[in-house]
Amino acid sequence: LENPKVDEAYALHVLGIPTGSVAIKSGAATSRSDRIDIEIFGKSSHASLPAEGRDAIVVAGNIITSIQSIISRNMPPNQTAVITIGKMAGGNRYNVLADYVKLEGTVRTFSTENADMIRERLKKMVEDIASAYECTAKLNYQNGYDFVYNDPALSELAIKSLTEILGKENVIIQSNPLPAGEDFSFITKKIPSVFIWLGTESNFNKGRCTLHSPEFMADEASLKIGIKTLCKLIFDRLN
């Protein structure tokens, strides 16, 4: 961003809103996206003699259930966050107690304070639950993409420009940020920027615009809208 020096930045990302429309959220536009790995270490034994082992799967089940209370019992009702475990792997055979389980997931937050709180509560909860079952556990918390921050002044100018070519009804002003992780956030921390959602849903692909779904199908007519959107922003800003 320094050679050559960049004054402003703009980005588009597809979304399941009608083709021909765009959506803009001034200020914080997406969530912070962190990654978590939880390793649980137990002791193997035959399934018929569970008292001789320490069941890592039982610990994993309790951790998965308990960590949801971090949000419901530590955050005000008007704030939100997400803790999702998307992958669980452990055990070797149906009749043997698992001595190792690994959980993988993501944490989505909209403030640094909540992200820090969740990290601290996760670590304590994971370690204490494992200890209660005479196992051990380790949390690996990886800071991921930060919040996308849309410059308020540039957002207003972008809304004005795009209203001229798309019509007021096709420029959606979002009231809340989306819980999406986005690496454009690193650029928005350095220079004034605007991140815009591009509509890709029409009658032919209705219900098939869920992001990162294996069945995702974009309406290719949105390509023209995307080109028009970026060209209009560039020309207006250069002038």
Whether residues 24 and 64 fall in one domain: no
Q: For 115-135, what is each residue's pLDDT tens digit?
A: 999 999 999 999 999 999 999
Q: How far apart are CA 160 and CA 164, in angstroms?
A: 7
Residue 206: inside a domain: yes
Mean pLDDT of 31-40: 96
Residue 122: inside a domain: yes
Predicted pLDDT of residue 211: 87
CA angle 82, 83, 86 (to 5 degrees): 120
Mean pLDDT of 94-102: 97
Whether residues 42 and 24 fall in one domain: no
Q: Which amino acid is at 204?
A: F
Whether residues 118 and 57 fall in one domain: yes
Q: For 178-201, what is each residue's pLDDT tens digit?
A: 989 999 999 999 999 999 999 999
The domain total for the chain is 2
Whether residues 77 and 182 fall in one domain: no
Residue 4: inside a domain: no
Predicted pLDDT of residue 9: 97
The pLDDT-based confidence of 67 (bands split at 50, 70, 90) is: very high
Whether residues 128 and 186 fall in one domain: no
CATH number at residue 176: 3.40.630.10
Of 119, 145, 171, the one marking the end of a domain is: 145
* Buried-state track 146-180, b at ≥16 Cβ within 10 A, e below 16: bbbbbbeebbebbbebbeeebeeebbbeeeebbbb
By percentage, how much of the chain surpasses pLDDT 90? 92
Whether residues 39 and 141 fall in one domain: yes
Whether residues 36 and 128 fall in one domain: yes
Whether residues 129 and 93 fall in one domain: yes
Whether residues 161 and 60 fall in one domain: no
Whether residues 201 and 182 fall in one domain: yes
CB atoms under 10 Å from CB of 219, counted, come to 21
Predicted pLDDT of residue 212: 86
Mean pLDDT of 77-105: 95
Q: For 132-181, what is each residue's pLDDT tens digit?
A: 999 999 999 999 999 999 999 999 999 999 999 999 999 999 999 998 99
For residue 75, report the phi and psi dihedrals to the nearest 5 degrees. Answer: -125, 145
Beta strands in the chain (DSSP E): 9-18, 22-24, 27-28, 32-41, 82-90, 100-109, 136-145, 149-150, 171-173, 193-201
Of 145, 169, 198, the one marking the end of a domain is: 145
By percentage, how much of the chain surpasses pLDDT 70? 100
The residue range of the domain holding 169 is 9-30+147-238
Of 145, 180, 202, the one marking the end of a domain is: 145
DSSP 19: T
Q: For 40-59, what is each residue's pLDDT tens digit?
A: 999 999 999 999 999 999 99
CATH number at residue 138: 3.30.70.360
Whether residues 54 and 85 fall in one domain: yes
